[in-house]
Amino acid sequence: MKNILFKNTITALTLFVTLIGFAQNKSSNTVSLDVYYSKIQAEKNPQIIDARGPEEFALNHINGAVNFNLESKDYEQQLAKLDKTKPVFTYSIGAGRSVWLADDLLKKGFKEAYSLEGGIANWIGNGKPFYANSKSKLTLAEYNKIIVENKDVLVDIGSVYCGACKKVKPVLETIKAQYGTNLKIVEIDLEDNPQFIADLKIIKVFPTLILYKNGKIIFKKEGTADLKKQVDLALAQN
């Protein structure tokens, strides 16, 4: 019995140390948009990897990026095309798959690998150059008109491929059921509105929620934490 407990303890400690090590690598490999962009600008032919799925990449991506990730069937062949002596820049919808990829590149002997904090949301959301296969359904002028013509407006900006964004939807339904037509709810996805998100220039991560009252921003937050509570408090202050 003692031997079993001892082995379980050792296993747990090993797992904990492994997770700590990964977290440290994750932190050191993830850089801000300013650092990421400046490093790319310093390269003549930057090696940029989109670590999302092919369907996501086809809709929008950073100019000059190639698409593959850890689950790609030709992963090793794709890696062989890269120069290990030069920096590699990875990104995904946020900073999940891109962090894993950057970590794997370093383990395989690449000199430098950087993951973009906030992912494609941060890049497009701050107006950096990108490719999109369709025009936005919503323009900045139309958006501003919605804000002006409605007293209270709650805006949800995200992506259909974003796991965290999906958690916002049931919260929005609860808010919608409570306030009805007294609160205008606008849901904006990257896939339908890439240029609009770029023109807005205030998005750093998905999802981002913005509440307007009489044309002014009451709060701008990332994620669903306390969203319902914050909306209730803000709307109670007429």
Look up the CATH number of the domain holding residue 72: 3.40.250.10
Least-confidence region, from 5-9, 183-187, 198-202, 230-234: 5-9
The per-residue pLDDT for 13 is 39
What integer pLDDT is reported at residue 5 of this predicted model?
44
Is the same domain home to 102 and 175?
Answer: no
- The pLDDT, as a whole number, for residue 238 is 65
Show which of 116, 132, 148 is a domain's final residue.
132
pLDDT tens, 36-95?
Answer: 999 999 999 999 999 999 999 999 999 999 999 999 999 999 999 999 999 999 999 987
- Catalytic positions, written as ranges: 162, 165
Q: Are 69 and 104 found together in one domain?
A: yes
Q: What is the pTM of this model?
A: 0.85
Provide, for the chain, the percentages of residues in helix, strand and coil under a 3-state DSSP scheme, each rounded to the nearest 5: 45, 20, 30
d(CA 212, CA 218): 5
- In a 3-state reduction of DSSP, which class is residue 114? strand
Same domain for 114 and 217, yes or no, is: no
The pLDDT of residue 211: 98
Domain termination residue (choose one: 113, 132, 151):
132
Contacts of 205 (CB under 8 A, 6+ apart): 94, 118, 119, 121, 122, 222
3-state secondary structure of 38: helix
pLDDT digits (tens, 9 = 90+) for 85-137: 999 999 999 878 999 999 999 999 999 999 999 999 999 999 999 999 999 99
In the chain, the number of structural domains is 2
Tokens of 72: 């790609």
Q: Containing domain of residue 100, as a range?
A: 2-132
Residue-wise pLDDT tens digits, 136-189: 999 999 999 999 999 999 999 999 999 999 999 999 999 999 999 999 999 999
Q: Is 100 left (phi over 0), alpha (psi -120 to 50) or beta?
A: alpha
